[in-house]
Structure 1
Amino acid sequence: MWHDIIFMYHVSMTKKVNGLFYFLQKLPFLGKKIPSRIYQFIRLKKILSIITFIFSILGSALKNFLYLFIFYMLPIMFLYIKQDPIPRVQMQQVFFLTFTILTILGACTNSKMWTCDDETLIMIKQLHMESKRYMLHHSLFTYTINTISLGISSLPICMILMISPVYALLIAVVYFCSHLMMDACYLFLYERYHNFILFHKAYKPAFLMICLLLAYGILFSKITISFGYMCMYIFTLLSLLGIVFAYRYLKTTNTYTAVMRRIIQDYLSMGLNNDTNVQTLDVALNEKDYSQSELKQNIHHKKHGYQFMNALFFKRHKRLIYKPIKHRLIILLVIMVCVILSSFFIKDPIDKSDLLELMPPFVFFLYMLNISQRTCKAMFMNCDASLLHYGYYRTPQAILTNFRIRLKALILYNLPVTILLCILITVTCFVYHISFTPQTIALFHITMFILSIFFSVHYLFIYYIAQPYDEKLEIKNPLMNIVNGAIYVLCYLCINLEGNLYFSLGVLAATILYLMIALPLVWHFAPKTFHLK
């Protein structure tokens, strides 16, 4: 077992280090100084593999901490922190119960044993590893790493709840046991029925909704839960006992070869190893979406060149783009109706004395409402991935012309959501008697519009400067993930900041500065960087 785990570790880390070398070679200025023989430096690759492994654990721990904090701690603190005295025992027990329910949900919907990717094909197809050895040992290795990172990230949560660090160990054990036992259940069901029953498109969403409603229903209903610490320890011991039987079954069953053959067949039949990726499914076109009027040649007869091409692209992708916009508008309208109706029941105004105090959370809210990232993916998959094979499409004039046309379109597409958000803000001010002046509400609305333009420019800027996708829509340039991750963190951190005039002016100034830097960079570097990977 350990030999297989170490071997898979080397393959995985080597793939990541080679990807890092490729990325560095594509950087301007620095890339030319990195020789092609760098791939032969075995000692350097071993050192970087260890560093990459350590950072992957730390990154996973950070991701798990954000997951625990956002989906567990924030709702719990919102519901219980204002009570006097704070019911810490109730908070701890609700946290543990909610975590257990959602962990079972994660075990059912996010199994590592039943996934297939490039590494799976390398290990099974090219290196001819036995299916049983790969599936069992790969899942054990992945779950162990996630368990360690989850245990590390749980320690700060335990400190916030003022409970024993032993809880972090219990949380990690519950995660590991639930995932391995669920893998055993999946294998047993496949062995019995020769089908992925729980992966059925009808069962999986139903189970997802049941678990979410159960977990957050218990949380937000504030049901008094009373069970001692001994019950948690007994539950953990039962989980450990269950994993003994699960592991015994996983070691003795001979279903792995048939399962792996089916998984790889499904993976390849979806085109995931050729032209598309799972990530393309939300931006892929459906021929049924076309109407006869949209297929007519003379819809945009007054436009020519790239204006005609982009107008045709956005016309034929209007359902792909309009659908998320429509969903966002409906959500905002529902929120507005709830705000108006709640005014009849909540007599006290919101605990905000000035409109600008509402600014910080709306920065993150507007970030979540923006559709530019999805649209950029659609641009690449359904347009640029094919046209970038032709030299005329890679000329500076063509690239910059398309950038200008698309930027204008993205700004216009995000405009309705921004307008309705500003209306929602104004309605909230009137309904809850939040004080404002014409100057402050004008500043608030201007900042929202500038932020909407910022997010439109940002995603298109990263798309043209980094061009992170290959023809399978896999992200080959990590710069996009790094920058987008930084923007997400900054927007999320804004929630906890104090809203005032200085914050609003600071956001406005930072946004304008970013736009002043990003646009010239596109004009200068996009003709050199916008190409197929």
Structure 2
Amino acid sequence: MLRTLSTILNLEASSFANRLIYYVQRLPLIGKRIGDRAYSSRSLKRVTAAAALLLAVLWGFLTSMLYIGLVIYLPVVTLGKDLPQEQQLNIFWHIFSIISFIVAGVTSAKVLEPKRGKYIAVKLMRLPANRYMRSILGYKYVTFFVYLLSAALLFSSLLGAPPSQGILLTAAAVMWRICCEFLHLRLFQQTGHVLVKNNAVVWIVILAGYITAFAPLLLDGSSSWATSLIEALPFSIICIVLGMLAGGYLLFRADYRDAVYAATKRDDPLLDLGRLMSEAQKTSVKAKDSDYSAEMLNDHRKKFENKEGYDYINAIFFSRHKSLIRQPFYKRLAILGAAGAAMILVAFLKPEQAAAISTRIGSLLPTLILVMAFLTVGEQLCKAMFFHCDLKLLRQSFYRQDAPKHFRIRFVRILGMNLLLAALLALVLTLAAMAAGISGEAGLHPDFILLWVSSLALAVFFSVHHLFLYYIFQPYTTELNAKNPFFHLFSGIVSGIFIILINVKPDPVVFSVSAAAVSLLYVAVVLVLIRKYAPQTFRVK
């Protein structure tokens, strides 16, 4: 098992080194200094592979720290800052238990995870599926326990928890996850069903789980059944025993061949590219057949005959792919309208509770970041543009050189849609707050202005942000997978800043003014970077 694990780690480190060299070569300034000989340089590959293994370990600790620190600890000490420390600790373990035991147990399964490394090791290198999975599972959960334990001990101790409590509950969480691996495998073996691929079930569990996890913190700060349950010694012992039994089965008796072959077939771009592209088209970027009817095509030609060049191409794209662009946009408008009507109704039915929430408009402004991140259009639209328009055009040098031109056209179109969504969101929240009886001396509460400024500023930010990532990093391969590590790194940094802002809750005026200033500055900087670098970075990979 150790020899197999060593082979797998070396393989992953080498693959990471090759990808890193590839993307570094495409960076401005320094990329031209790294030639193709870097791929065959043994000394460089050894250094890069060692750095990759070190980064993997550091990343494991970092992700656990970010998970426990930003997702659990920071909300507890900020939203529950007025609560006693003992009550904060109870809520800390409540959130930890719901997310680590229930949400992660349903939504994560290493055995059935589609992964390119699994395909290379099992299909190309012919490693036995059983040896591969036993090595991976053993390594995964040993390191997972170490990473999670370090973060849990650190942040729980800040709330006064004894080390024994952190060790016991972390061990219970990890062993329960091993038990869930066994359950996922048995479900697949008995029914052929992959639970983690059922998006409806996964998202229902995620939404319900996070609402349940943070409900005590957002409502009255009281503890819940989860806190009492996980603090009970029998519960932890049961989880540990079940995990040991499941782990023994997974390490010595389980047959992984069917599960691994099924997972590698689903993520097998080299073996079945046509089917993979078909599945991707059916899910996220499929256009309706009616969009390509002869009648619709003739209407498009007549409607845009006065346009030319990139204005014509993009007008045709946005008009033709209504099922990908307008329907999601209209659905967002409908959701906002329904939510506004519901909030106004609640304001009339329960005026005291609604008024109490409305008085906190200023302190709740940072949460608009999360709302606008889900509400605005951009990321999915970039994938649709790549698949239906840019995938073929990017093979032409003139199209890459004119990247700044069609970037500006698309930015204006996306900005228009997002500004309309932001205005409707601000209007809905304003009407709901006014229905609750919140108004200033002149009939307008000062926080309403901050609400509008923040919403519109965030619409500008997300409009340029997704398009900037698309043009500068162009993360999508021909298989519609996002492989660029710098794309994920930049996105992760921005998401981390957002999480910090949501939990820190800056002054409303400072937040609104900063959001507007940063958004406008971001647009200016992006326009300069796109003009300078997009002709080299916006290409098919």
Q: TM-score, normalised by structure 2?
A: 0.83
CA distance in 2: counterparts of 1:226 and 1:440, whole angstroms: 37
Which residues of 2 match residues 174-193 of structure 1 at below 5 A? 174-191=172-189, 193=190
Please list, as runs of the form range in 1=range in 2, the aligned pairs for 1:24-39 lying within 5 A after superposition: 24-39=24-39
Aligned to 2:396: 390
1:464 aligned onto 2:460: no
Please state how far the C-alpha of 1:408 moved relative to its aligned partner. 1.6
> Secondary structure in 2 aligned to 1:197?
coil
Question: Displacement, 1:109?
Answer: 3.0
1:436 shift after superposition: 8.1
Residue in 2 that maps onto 1:433: 438
Relative to 1, partners in 2 of residues 1:148 and 1:119: Cα closer, same or farther, differing over 3 Å? same
Conservation of the 8 A alpha-carbon contact between 2:76 and 2:91: yes
Q: In 2, Cα distance between the equivalents of 1:377 and 1:291?
A: 19
The equivalent residue for 1:127 is 125
Partner residue of 1:499? 507
Per-residue Cα deviation, 1:110-143 (whole angstroms, up to 9, x for no partner): 2111123221121112211111101221122223
| Structure 1 residue 354: Cα displacement | 9.0
The corresponding residue for 1:299 is: 300
Task: Confirm or deny: 8 A CA contact 2:149 2:170 kept in the other structure.
Answer: yes
Name the residue aligned to 1:528. Answer: 536
SS in 2 for 1:151: helix
Correspondence 1:367 to 2:367: no
Assess, with a 3 A threshold, how the Cα gap between structure 1 residues 339 and 184 changes in structure 2: closer, same or farther. Answer: closer
CA distance in 2, matches of 1:132, 1:466: 37
**2:116 aligned to which of 95, 115, 118:** 118
1:379 match: 385
The amino acid of 1:245's aligned partner reads L
Further displaced range: 508-517 or 333-342: 333-342
- Residue 286 of structure 2 corresponds to 285
Counterpart position of 2:219:
none
Aligned residue pairs total 526
**Cα deviation code 1:483-511 (max 9, x no counterpart):** 22232233333322322434433332222
SS in 2 for 1:159: helix
**Counterpart amino acid of residue 336 in structure 1:** G
Equivalent of 1:448 in 455, 469, 480:
455
**Structure 1 stretches of 5 or more lacking a match?**
none
Preserved contact between residue 113 and residue 136 of structure 1 (Cα < 8 Å)? no
Q: Is the 8 A contact 1:372 1:460 kept in 2?
A: yes
Residue 265 of structure 2 is aligned to residue 260 of structure 1: no
2:507 is aligned with 1:511: no
Residue 330 of structure 2 aligns with which residue?
326
Rounded to whole Å, the distance in 1 between the matches of 2:479 and 2:447 is 47
Q: Conserved in 2, the CA contact under 8 Å of 1:80 and 1:86?
A: no
- TM superposition shift of 1:260: 2.7
User: Is there any run of 5+ residues in structure 2 with no aligned partner, and where?
Assistant: 217-221
* C-alpha spacing 1:291/1:509, structure 2 compared with 1 (3 Å): same
Offset at residue 524 of structure 1 (A): 2.3
- The CA deviation string for residues 351-371 of structure 1, in whole angstroms up to 9 with x for no partner, is 787976554333443233221
Q: Does 6-15 or 46-55 show the bigger shift? A: 46-55
Q: Distance in 2 between matches of 1:525 and 1:79?
A: 42
Looking at structure 2, the residues matched to 294 and 162 of structure 1 have their Cα atoms a distance apart, in angstroms, of: 70
The answer to which of 85-94 and 5-14 deviates more is 85-94
Give runs of aligned pairs for residues 19-58 of structure 1, distance below 5 A. Answer: 19-58=19-58
Residues 185-218 of structure 1 deviation map (CA, whole Å, 9 limit, x = unaligned): 3444555x3x42353977x745864686478558
Q: Map 1:125-204 to 2 at 5 A.
A: 125-191=123-189, 193=190, 195-197=191-193, 199=195
Checking the alignment, whether the CA contact within 8 Å between 1:186 and 1:196 is kept in structure 2 is no
Amino acid in the other structure paired with 1:316: R
User: Matched residues in 2 for 1:182 and 1:164: separation?
Assistant: 28
> How many angstroms does 1:522 deviate by?
1.2
Deviations, residues 159-183 of structure 1 (Å, cap 9, x unaligned): 3543123343334323432232233
Which residue does 2:406 correspond to in 1?
402
Partner of 1:239: 239
- Tell me what 1:15 maps to: 15
The 3 A distance-change label for structure 1 pair 248 and 465 is closer
Aligned to 1:98: 98
Equivalent residue number for residue 412 of structure 1: 416
Percentage of pairs with the same residue: 23
TM-score between both structures, scaled by the size of structure 1 = 0.84
**Separation in 2 of the partners of 1:164 and 1:234?**
18
For 1:330 and 1:58, locate their aligned partners in 2 and report how far apart those are by CA, in whole Å.
Answer: 44
